[in-house]
């Protein structure tokens, strides 16, 4: 886990760099449509599970206007990448919390008198419930992500 956190900063943003087309710009937000297939650019990315790697309506992403200080217009092509802090937050939400749920249930429930089978069932159910929460709150997590936008 320590090595996972010590990844050089220069490769963190490069892993998540994606091309996008600006659909709308207003005073507070920029709406982007992720373009192209992300299969090559997303290999090894920690955000791959929650990122916009699909087509259609799911490929739209609305980010805060403060991600880019320059002049942007509708139809411009940009490159977008996740900030390193967002990658670590996503990794914690997607891997850290489920690991804690598993460890807590598998260690705590048998100590409380539950059987091994029941402990495993509760641990799996807790992790599944966590991923349902993440899926339900995906739009909220998207808004809290820190993105870096550069003109292509």
Residues near 34 by Cβ (< 8 Å), separated by ≥ 6?
Answer: 18, 19, 20, 52, 53, 59, 60, 61, 80
Of 38, 23, 19, 7, the residue nearest 81 (C-alpha): 19
Higher pLDDT, 38 or 143: 143
pLDDT at 5: 40
Distance of alpha carbon 103 from alpha carbon 143, whole angstroms: 30
pLDDT at 139: 75
* Pairing between β-strand 77-82 and β-strand 60-64 as defined by DSSP bridges: unpaired
pLDDT at 100: 95
Convert the pLDDT of each residue in 19-46 to its tens digit: 888 888 888 888 888 876 555 555 555 5
Higher pLDDT, 99 or 148: 99
- Cβ atoms < 10 Å from Cβ of 43: 9
Convert the pLDDT of each residue in 52-98 to its tens digit: 555 445 577 777 776 666 777 888 888 887 777 777 888 888 889 99
pLDDT mean across residues, the chain: 75
Percent of the chain exceeding pLDDT 90 equals: 20
| Residue 109 scores a pLDDT above 60 | yes
Using only C-alpha atoms, what is the Rg of the chain?
A: 19
Residues near 89 by Cβ (< 8 Å), separated by ≥ 6?
Answer: 144, 145
What φ, ψ does residue 80 adopt, rounded to 5°?
Answer: -125, 140
Distance of alpha carbon 131 from alpha carbon 2, whole angstroms: 24
């Amino acid at each position: 886990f320590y090595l996972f956190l010590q990844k050089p900063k220069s490769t963190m943003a490069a892993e998540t760099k994606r091309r996008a087309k600006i659909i709308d710009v207003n005073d507070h937000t920029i709406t982007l449509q992720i373009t192209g297939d992300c299969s090559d650019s997303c290999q090894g990315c920690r955000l791959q599970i929650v990122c916009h790697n699909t087509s259609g309506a799911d490929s739209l992403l609305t980010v805060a206007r403060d991600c880019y200080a320059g002049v942007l217009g509708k139809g411009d092509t940009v490159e977008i990448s996740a900030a390193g802090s967002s990658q670590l937050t996503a990794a914690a939400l997607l891997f850290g919390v489920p690991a804690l749920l598993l460890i807590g249930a598998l260690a705590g429930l048998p100590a409380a008198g539950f059987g091994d089978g029941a402990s495993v069932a509760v641990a799996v159910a807790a992790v599944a419930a966590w991923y349902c929460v993440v899926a339900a709150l995906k739009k909220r997590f998207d808004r809290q992500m820190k993105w870096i936008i550069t003109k292509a």
